Structures are given as C-alpha cells and as structure tokens.
Amino acid sequence: MSEHLKGLSIGSDVDFKHIAPNVKIQYPFGKKTITMLVGGTGITPMIQALHAILGTASDTTQVTMIYGNKTQKDILCKELLDAWAANSGGRLKIVHVLSRAKDDASWKGETGHITKEILTTHAAPASDDTLVVVCGPPPMYNAFCGPRDEKELTVVVVVVVVFVVVIVAVVVIVVIGVIDVIAVAVIVAVVVIVVIGVAVIVVLIEKELTGILADMGYTAEQVFKF
C-alpha cells in the first residue's frame, strides 16, 4: 500500500473500501469558540472539522488553531490552512509554533514547544461556550490533558490481567493442591472481575483531565481528546 501511494502523483484520486465508521465527535459542535491544539500529523481530524465549520455559511464558530511542528517544512497542509484563514473573515486564526526555528532566520512566529503561556496568549479562556480539541503525539496529551493513547492503556490492561491470573493460579494451587473445576471457576471469576475493573479504570483515565489545560481552569467536558 505504501509503495503504491508513493508512486502516485499529487492530485491523484484514491478509493478506499471497508473503512468502518469512526465518528468520535459529531458536528455541529455547539460552541461559540474552539481551540485546536495540534501536533504534527494530528492535523488530520482538524482538517475535517474545519472543513465542516468553514463550509457551513450559518456557522459562526470562532476557531483558533495552535499547531506545533519542528520546522516550516514539517507543517502539513500549510497552503490550505493559510487559504482558509485568509478567506474565513476572521473566523479562523492559526498560530504556528516551531520547536527548531532557531536555524530558520525567516521564521517570525512562535518558537519552542507549545506552552501554557502560548495558550494563555492565543486561546479562548475556559467557559461553557468554549471547546478545546487535542490531537498529537502521546507527550502532548500527557502534558496538556492526560493520556489518550489507547495502545498504552491496552498494554496496562494486559499486564495487570496476566499478573493477577498468575498470582491467583499460584494461590489456588497452593490452597487446593490441584487444578480442578472449582479452581478453574475461581480463576475465571477473578479474571472477569479484574478485566471489568481495569476497563472501568481505563475509561476514567481517558476522561480525566489533567495537565496544563486543567491548570488553566478547563473542565473535562470542555476538552475533547482525538
């Protein structure tokens, strides 16, 4: 697949099949202001959201995108984003932040990593009419709103379950002396309880808001983690 896509020219059409629906947040968003906190390829869902917002004439949502990259060359869809901002009538503001801008004399924008100070300067303050959407690498989630990496959380679940199964099996063997139907039933019951408990904890961890956004007064309901 990668080699095929690499061989296509810019502007080529590609059809994809058997992609299951994966709607994480539904438009319209019902907020007066939206802050998009983006890192690298995290721009992907933001493009879809902006397309819906700016493509709807009756939508008056004010959007500020704070987009972090290493260099100017790493900014994905820059021409498209700049064009949308220029033609948005002030509805879209884009703030680029480059972590390796010191070697680029032509860069006049924000430098370093996205910080609380940059958010305070450019983002809308926390309120019930404001939504912050976040999409980027795991360190961005950890710093601004708490973990969202499903793979990391899945690993935690697997490790905990395996550990508990081993401990329970050892205890049952020591107490009962042999593995019989009762022992197996006990082990299965414990595993089920542990899996349910860990699953609940994972959901709570994903929904919990921590980090810089929490420090700035935002609530979990005002932040969406892509």
Residues 162/194, Cβ–Cβ less than 8 Å? no
157, 202 contact by CB (below 8 A): yes
The whole-angstrom separation of Cα 54 and Cα 36 is 14
**For residues 75-81, average pLDDT:** 94
The pTM of the whole model exceeds 0.85: no
2 in a labelled binding site: yes
Choice between 103 and 203, residue whose per-residue pLDDT is larger: 103
The residues pairing with 96 across neighbouring beta strands, listed in sequence order, are 67
Q: What is the CATH number of domain 24-146+208-225?
A: 3.40.50.80
Between CA 220 and CA 105 the distance in angstroms is 39
Residue 26's pLDDT band (boundaries 50, 70, 90)?
Answer: confident
Judged against a pLDDT cut of 60, whether residue 25 lies above it is answered with yes
What are the pLDDT digits (tens) for 114-162? 999 999 999 999 999 999 999 999 899 999 998 875 555 566 666 777 7
